[in-house]
Structure 1
Amino acid sequence: MAIAGIDWIALFSAALGGGLTVKLIEIGHDEFQRWRTRRDVDGKTVDRSLEPLLRATDELFGKLRSLVEQDFVPLRDVVKDGLDDESFASVVYLFVQFWSEVEIVRQRGLSTEVARSKRGRSTQAFLRCLESRKLRLIDRISQRAIGESALVDGRTMNFVEYVRHYDGDAHSRRWVSGLIDLLSTTQATDTRQAILQYAVVLHSMIDTLDPEHLVTRDRPATPNKLTAKSWKDLNYRVFKIYLPDVKHSQKYIGPPKRRP
């Protein structure tokens, strides 16, 4: 019905529609603000959790890169009787420290944050890759046991603490024996290539999770040390299947290699 030229039904509908639109906009804005706040909180939580892991990864990769450049010669003439040799013990400890930080990230249960964080999902992909059957250096259970054995009060033991713990704890010596055995056979090409492939993944993990190198160092790769078989494994299995999101994988493995 119209009175004095006014269509009241149309006016009421317009007012209702306008109010509803404003309300929907308010709800949408509030939801966006909550999503952004949650994303920021999740991001900070993941960043705090990953920093110690990245530092441990950087230290381990730095040592492995140095050994790779020297074809592991510094380890070949060392008497591997436990951790008595300081240089050998330091290499063992860097693996222990890295696996311990992996366990800390795992035990903190970042499932919710990881599910919502691109950086967290990338971390999960790298850890799954490093524990995959053809890439891991020792069996998964031993690796996790080594990491757990180095934890004290929710943190990783320092070098002196761990060596002292190793000397006095039979279980610690039991679990780390596989790693010691592996590092004692670096005169074998297969062992050196296995460690080199592991180091390549560590390198790509550092560059992906800390692209600006705020807590890590930007180091050049050593693709010249890879055999044709290792290049093929890394290119077609590691980077194509496990880590498809890694950009510029050629940086780590170089151009295709021909078999001699």
Structure 2
Amino acid sequence: MGCLLIVTEIYSFVDKIWPFIALISGASLWELFKYFFPDIKKIYDDRINAKKNLYKSIDPILKSSSELYGKLESLSKEDFATFINIQNSNSDDPLHNQKYVYYLFAQFWGQLEHIRIINQYNSLTRINKGKELLRFIETFESRKYRILDRSKQRIIGEILIQGGGENFRIMSINEFIMQLNKNDSSLILWIKELEDFFMSVGEVKKRQIVLRYGILLAIFIDHFDPDHKVVRRRNIYKNKLTKDSKLMVKDNLLNHYLKFTKNQNRYY
């Protein structure tokens, strides 16, 4: 009877500590595996680094995309009067507001360029969220959804990047406007392209391009910040989209470019 009791106690003790033994053994085996198979270790480390870089850079781009979408939402409410009918603009200073719109686009493109600089594309493809981010960048630059030619959007983004590495930052709105007031600034030439585009938003076709770009921004924000912990949830101006634009958002944007998007009917 005494022996049976001892065996029972030993069994009970081993049963309690077994999960810890398994955990330690599992971790040790993994370290041993990585030691003898360095290629596996490299793949593992690359995935970890890709995740770190992605989540480090996603917050600032979410904030800049939210600022830009908020401004486009405001412009949609006034039917772009800031550009085509200044007297009816909701802004106290429509001319300054125009420059602010240009800045918000430039700031957003600068964030996209920064992602290009710090993240190797082949590294981002190692994780699902990285693949999805690349898909969004491709869509922002695609012929059907971009505002300017892809190279022009990239050039503007590059100009706004100040410094590099840990000293990276995007040009402030004050610096941006100061640059626009310099005769020798290279920024003036490229922002003029953006200005020419917005001065033509009286055309329904051009206005709908801008509005669809805003919808793309909204999808991006919801996808990478679904619980809206970084930026606030915003309304979608579906009522400002034409029937053709709604079909384009539904059939092309969501069912071709961004198939992984959830709650798709929110956007059309």
TM-score (norm 1): 0.79
SS in 1 for 2:157: helix
Contact 1:142–1:175 at 8 Å: present in 2 too? yes
Give the AA of the match of 2:101: V
Give the AA of the match of 2:246: W
SS in 2 for 1:211: coil
Deviation, 1:145, is 0.8
Corresponding residue of 2:79: 71
Contact 1:135–1:194 at 8 Å: present in 2 too? yes
Pick one of 139, 146, 157 that aligns with 1:136.
Answer: 146
Pick one of 45, 53, 56 that aligns with 1:48.
Answer: 56
Aligned residue runs from structure 1 range 104-143, under 5 A:
104-143=114-153
Give the AA of the match of 2:196: D
Pick one of 241, 256, 259 that aligns with 1:241.
Answer: 256
Q: State how far apart, in whole Å, the 1-side matches of 2:113 and 2:54 are.
A: 15
Question: Unaligned regions of 5+ residues in structure 2, if any?
Answer: 1-24, 35-39, 88-93
Contact 1:46–1:113 at 8 Å: present in 2 too? no
Q: State how far apart, in whole Å, the 1-side matches of 2:113 and 2:26 are.
A: 45
Q: How many residues align?
A: 228
Contact 2:68–2:105 at 8 Å: present in 1 too? yes
Q: Is 1:87 aligned with 2:102?
A: no
Deviation, 1:132, is 0.6
**Which whole-Å deviations, capped at 9, do the CAs of 1:178-226 have from their partners, x for residues lacking one?**
1111111222211111101100010000000111212211012111111
Corresponding residue of 1:186: 201
Q: State how far apart, in whole Å, the 2-side matches of 1:71 and 1:105 are.
A: 33
Deviation, 1:113, is 3.9
SS in 1 for 2:125: helix
More helix by share: 2
Q: State how far apart, in whole Å, the 1-side matches of 2:96 and 2:227 are.
A: 33
Q: State how far apart, in whole Å, the 1-side matches of 2:172 and 2:27 are.
A: 54
Deviation, 1:233, is 1.4
Deviation, 1:156, is 1.0
Kindly, what percent of the aligned residue pairs are identical? 30
Corresponding residue of 2:233: 218
Question: Unaligned regions of 5+ residues in structure 1, if any?
Answer: 1-22, 254-260
RMSD (Å), alpha carbons:
2.7
Deviation, 1:144, is 0.7
Q: State how far apart, in whole Å, the 1-side matches of 2:204 and 2:62 are.
A: 28
Q: Is 1:100 aligned with 2:110?
A: yes
